[in-house]
Structures are given as C-alpha cells and as structure tokens.
C-alpha cells in the first residue's frame, strides 16, 4: 500500500493509473479536489478495490495521521500542490499554504508514523517528493542544462513555494533521517492536462476556433516530457533511489513556446483540418507574464547513469499521442470547460 497525494490532478492521476497497471499495489489517494482535481480522470477505477480515494487536505494533520494509522503505507508519493504559475502571481497565499505548509504537515505526520514503525519497515519506508525544475531559476541561451547541484534561484511565487518545500524535505532527511527522495522534473504534457497550461490550452482553443495566446515573443524555452515518462521515472526512483538524493527528470526536448504552438497547429491541421484554414492563423501574441523565466533545460544524466531511466517517448511521438487523446475525449474537455466536472463532484461527494 502506498499513499499518493494529489492523485486526482494531471500528473497524479496519470501516476495512479500507471502504478496500478505496472505495479498493481493498492493506493490511498488523498486529494482536496481543488479546481485542478478531477475524479473523471480516474473513472476507470470506480470499481477497482485497489484504489481508495479520500477527499481531504494535506494540511489537515488529524486526517493525515488517521490515514497513515489506518492504511499503514510503505511509502508516500507527494504530488499535491498548487501548480499554475499565473495563478501564483495573482494569489500566492494558496501556494504557500499548500506547497509549503501542506508539505510541512505531511512531513511531520510522516515522521511521526515512520519513527514508530518496526526497524525493518522503517528502513524500507520512502517519502517521495515530486518537484519541478523551476526551482533552479532561468538559464541564458547557451548555459548548460540544470544539474542537481545547480543553485536554487526561484523567480515566481510558485517556484519559490516549491523550492521551500524541497528544502523542508531535505532538512527532514538530514535532521531526522526520514528516508526522503526528491525529483525535479521538467514541463509535462499528456492526457488529463487541465487546459490552463500551454499545450492543452492551445489544443482546446484551436478546436473551438479561439485565439491561441502566446506570451511575449514566444521565444521562452521549456524542456518537455511526456507525462507517462515522468510516472515511470518516479516509479524507478521510488524503487531504487537513494534516500537523501535528488534526481532531475527531463526529456531532452527543449522547445520554444512558439515551436510548441506551431507543432500543435500542424498536428491539428493533419488530424482535424479546419475548412477556415490552418489553425496557426489563430496565434495571437499577448503581453508577457511578469518575471517570465526565459529558459529551462534539464540534465537528467544522473537518473540515467544511476538508475537506468530514459524517456520512452520523443517529443514527436508524445505530442502526437497527446493531440489524439484530446480529439478522442471531447466529453472530458467539454466537462472541464463548462465546469460540469465540478457538478459531478458535488453529486458524488455532497458533504464529503
């Protein structure tokens, strides 16, 4: 049994599905179901006894204590977070609350639970903290990619809150010996991605003939990884990573935002042609995000060297699968756009 936090979000739900398929071990899934949590992502698990969903906040110590005592997990995989940079600019408080205080509460609950475990189980226990490459700050055009020893230089409230949580995890290992691991991953894309983020936003807007907003000059560079490769990397680090270590996860796919948007448009032109012309006609440049980091790039060689992980998908294969997934799931998209997934939630979790 493992405890996953944030398992109804984009990466967390992909992870839970992947974990049950690849490992098959039961999961307690603790998620507050904020706007970003969507139980529709886990529809196929409705009657799967290996998945136990609990709606709740990682900052609720009594609840976390109860779940740990009841389910006795051998590991915690911590995805839950406020994750959207734009939202962090307009409302940073929630980011400090969940990403910093929430992680602190989870660490404290984990420490209390872990310290009472029998010796053997204590050595095998893992706290896996899922983090981002954004903690490292921004790179110049010719700088080498971020390694695990790159100094932390977060620039947005989101990345600062994630950096703070990484430091807490590090300290809980060094001070208390909690067997914790941290992974810092580059930008993910794939199924179940909430359409406030670049790739799903472009797909969803293009399909409904809306403008495709690109920040600034569109030349900001991100390193992209297909979400299922991230899930596989977390599995590998959880199984074989050394406690106290951090591992970068990346796809060796640096792309400018504008390249991404053109790629999405070209795929849509091929898979769902628009009689009005190429989807690229909808590209609209908008005022840049304040403090917008220019470039992120990840050096994932430590993970490959020490644990043998490499991404299975290239950007070309991953982005094609992703665009096809959105075309194949119009109902998921419609429910997210209309907010109907929240109504569904209210009827299923009334008072819960």
Which residues are near ligand NAD by CB under 6 A? 5-6, 8-12, 31-34, 36-37, 57-59, 79-83, 98, 102, 130-132, 162, 185, 187-188, 194
Say how far apart CA 263 and CA 276 lie, in whole Å: 18
Task: Return the number of the residue (129 or 279) whose C-beta is nearest ligand NAD.
Answer: 129
Say how far apart CA 211 and CA 319 lie, in whole Å: 20
- As measured in angstroms, the least distance from the Cβ of 244 to ligand NAD is 20
Residue positions annotated with a catalytic role: 133-134, 158
Task: Return the number of the residue (8 or 168) whose C-beta is nearest ligand NAD.
Answer: 8
Tokens in use for 320?
């094609």
Tokens in use for 60?
């609720």
Task: Return the number of the residue (282 or 336) whose C-beta is nearest ligand NAD.
Answer: 336
- As measured in angstroms, the least distance from the Cβ of 119 to ligand NAD is 31
Torsion angle in degrees (nearest 10) through CA of 241, 243, 244, 247: 10
Interacting residues of 46 by C-beta distance below 8 A, sequence separation 6+ = none
Looking at beta carbons, which residue is closest to ligand NAD? 9
- As measured in angstroms, the least distance from the Cβ of 20 to ligand NAD is 17
Task: Return the number of the residue (132 or 279) whose C-beta is nearest ligand NAD.
Answer: 132
Say how far apart CA 352 and CA 346 lie, in whole Å: 9
Backbone angles phi, psi at 149, to 5 degrees: -95, 5
- As measured in angstroms, the least distance from the Cβ of 132 to ligand NAD is 4
- As measured in angstroms, the least distance from the Cβ of 80 to ligand NAD is 4
Task: Return the number of the residue (87 or 111) whose C-beta is nearest ligand NAD.
Answer: 87
Burial class (CB in 10 A: 0-12, 13-18, 19+), 270: exposed
Pairing of strands 187-189, 180-185: unpaired
Backbone angles phi, psi at 286, to 5 degrees: -125, 165
């Amino acid at each position: 049994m493992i405890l996953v936090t944030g398992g109804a979000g984009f990466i967390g739900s992909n992870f839970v599905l992947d974990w049950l398929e690849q490992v098959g071990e039961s999961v307690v899934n603790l998620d507050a179901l904020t706007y970003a949590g969507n139980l529709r992502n886990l529809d196929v698990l409705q009657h799967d006894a290996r998945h136990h969903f609990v709606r709740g906040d990682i900052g609720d110590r009594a609840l976390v204590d109860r779940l740990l005592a009841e389910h006795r997990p051998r590991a915690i995989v911590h995805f839950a977070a406020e994750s959207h940079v734009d939202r962090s600019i307009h409302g940073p408080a929630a980011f400090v609350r969940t990403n910093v205080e929430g992680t602190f509460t989870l660490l404290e609950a984990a420490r209390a639970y872990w310290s009472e475990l029998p010796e053997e189980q204590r050595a095998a226990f893992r706290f896996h903290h899922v983090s981002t490459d954004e903690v490292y700050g921004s790179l110049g055009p010719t700088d080498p990619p971020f390694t695990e020893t790159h100094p932390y230089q977060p620039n947005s409230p989101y990345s600062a809150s994630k950096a703070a949580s990484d430091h807490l995890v590090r300290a809980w290992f060094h001070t208390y010996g909690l067997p914790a691991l941290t992974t810092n991953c580059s930008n993910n894309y794939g199924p179940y991605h909430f359409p406030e983020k670049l790739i799903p936003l472009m797909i969803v807007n293009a399909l409904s003939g809306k403008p495709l907003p690109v920040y600034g000059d569109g030349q900001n560079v991100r390193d992209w990884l297909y979400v299922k490769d991230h899930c596989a990397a977390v599995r590998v680090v959880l199984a074989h990573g050394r406690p106290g270590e951090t591992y970068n996860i990346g796809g060796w796919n640096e792309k400018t935002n504008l390249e991404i948007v053109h790629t999405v448009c070209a795929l849509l032109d091929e898979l769902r042609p628009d009689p009005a012309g190429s989807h690229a006609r909808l590209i609209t440049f908008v005022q840049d995000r304040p403090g917008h980091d220019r470039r992120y790039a990840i050096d994932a060689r430590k993970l490959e060297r020490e644990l043998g992980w490499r991404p299975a998908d290239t950007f070309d294969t991953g982005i094609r699968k992703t665009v096809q997934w959105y075309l194949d799931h119009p109902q998921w998209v419609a429910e997210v756009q209309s907010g109907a997934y929240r109504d569904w939630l209210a009827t299923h979790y009334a008072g819960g």
